[in-house]
Structure 1
Amino acid sequence: MTRAKPMPETVTVHIPFRLVKRGGHKEMQTLDGASGHSKMGNTLVKALARAFRWKRMLESGNLSTIAELAEREGSHLPT
């Protein structure tokens, strides 16, 4: 039996796309022509961006607890 290789901490995903102007705003399109404009897609991108920023803040030592992070971001942890 062989052991699986350990998973890397960082995963890089390459998605080829182009930016197209549509009515005064830019839209992301994949090379097959599918539009990247969707409410769910934008919400997911924002959530991922926040998660990575929060992770960096915690790992850098700027914040020491999730409670500090929640206070700084204007959220409240359930009691």
Structure 2
Amino acid sequence: MEGSFRDRGAAKVSRDERTVTVHVPLTFRRKGGRKVVISPTGELQRPARARYIDDALLRSLVQAFEWKRMLDEGECVSVSELAGATKLNHSFVSRVLRLTLLAPDVVEAILDGSQGTLVQRQAFLRGLPHRWAEQLP
């Protein structure tokens, strides 16, 4: 089988060019009950930080920007009218609308799931610092 491949650098391609074989010099070891990757230099390779999408926070953020659009375009002229139209409590609508005041970096982190588990919806609904720099965890 080895003779049926042509060498193209680190990858070998079969004569019919339907199969590619790549050799990656890695070692897998168990550490603390988990498998870890050891690089060719012997260094432990840490996995990229896992993304955590907080569905409740994401839905609230989307809802807040939708409600802001409705207010900006005049579909509802006040938060009270918006609360009536959505059949929700005025206080709740006001708190959710505060999410539109989040720093752009925080909004982006929530959207791509890199905000971490310490950023939670309830904390944002209780209140936000006015300065964007103070909003970052």
- TM-score, normalised to structure 1, is 0.48
Instruction: Pick 1 or 2: higher relative contact order, CA cutoff 8 A, min separation 6.
Output: 2
| Between structures 1 and 2, the one with greater helix share | 2
- TM-score, normalised to structure 2, is 0.29
